[in-house]
């Protein structure tokens, strides 16, 4: 038996340090939080996905009293992106959230496990790493790939 470590590279940056294209994606994810339908949790999440055709698709979490019939912002965005532009590949996804008081979360939040697995499917389909920007009020976490969020991912190709 041996021990091993998994090291996940994460860049931490202030909004002002982001490139203009990343700031735009973060802005769109933050804006998408306002289109959330979250009457039960009151936790509003928005996502924005940049595609390789230059289009950006956004999504927001959509709750339903018949839990778990709702869907997260990340899956709303990724399913709509692929349904609308099936040939386009994902490049970057940004995720933002507002707490139950409507304020942007202080620390970046990460997608749930189901969203991580769904996003990984589209990273695999793209054939390249899809950058992830997790936003907080003061700082962003930038990960090189979706797989960084799910190092022991279940994939057909492993």
Cis geometry, peptide bond prior to residue 67 (ω within 30 degrees of 0): no
Q: Does the CA dihedral 154-83-55-126 come out positive or negative?
A: positive
Q: Decide: 75 and 90 in contact? Cβ < 8 Å.
A: no
Q: What pLDDT, on a 0 to 100 scale, did the predictor assign at position 143? A: 98
Residues recognised as catalytic: 74
In order along its 158 residues, the chain shows pLDDT tens digits of 999 899 999 999 999 999 999 999 999 999 999 999 999 999 999 999 999 999 999 999 999 998 888 999 999 999 999 999 999 999 999 999 999 999 999 999 999 999 999 999 999 999 999 999 999 999 999 999 999 999 887 766 54
Q: What pLDDT, on a 0 to 100 scale, did the predictor assign at position 157? A: 54
CA angle 52, 147, 27 (to 5 degrees): 50
Q: What pLDDT, on a 0 to 100 scale, did the predictor assign at position 154? A: 73
Structural domains in the chain plus CATH codes: 14-149 (3.40.140.10)
Q: What pLDDT, on a 0 to 100 scale, did the predictor assign at position 32? A: 98
Q: What pLDDT, on a 0 to 100 scale, did the predictor assign at position 25? A: 98
Residue 65, token pair as written in the block:
């009293």
Alpha-carbon dihedral angle through residues 20, 22, 25, 27, given to the nearest 10 degrees: -60
Q: What pLDDT, on a 0 to 100 scale, did the predictor assign at position 156? A: 64
């Amino acid at each position: 038996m041996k021990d091993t470590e998994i090291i996940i590279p994460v860049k931490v940056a202030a909004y002002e340090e982001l490139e203009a294209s990343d700031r735009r994606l973060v802005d769109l994810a933050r804006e998408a939080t306002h289109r959330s339908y979250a009457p039960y949790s009151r936790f509003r999440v928005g996502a924005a996905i940049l595609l390789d055709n230059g289009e950006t698709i956004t999504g927001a979490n959509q709750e339903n009293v018949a839990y778990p019939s709702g869907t997260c912002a990340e899956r709303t965005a990724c399913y709509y992106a692929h349904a609308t532009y099936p040939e386009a590949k994902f490049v970057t996804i940004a995720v933002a959230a507002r707490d139950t008081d409507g304020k942007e979360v202080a620390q970046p939040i990460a997608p749930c496990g189901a969203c991580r697995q769904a996003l990984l499917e589209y990273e695999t389909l793209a054939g390249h790493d899809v950058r992830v920007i997790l936003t907080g009020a003061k700082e962003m976490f930038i990960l090189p790939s979706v797989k960084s969020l799910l190092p022991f991912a279940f994939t057909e190709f492993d």
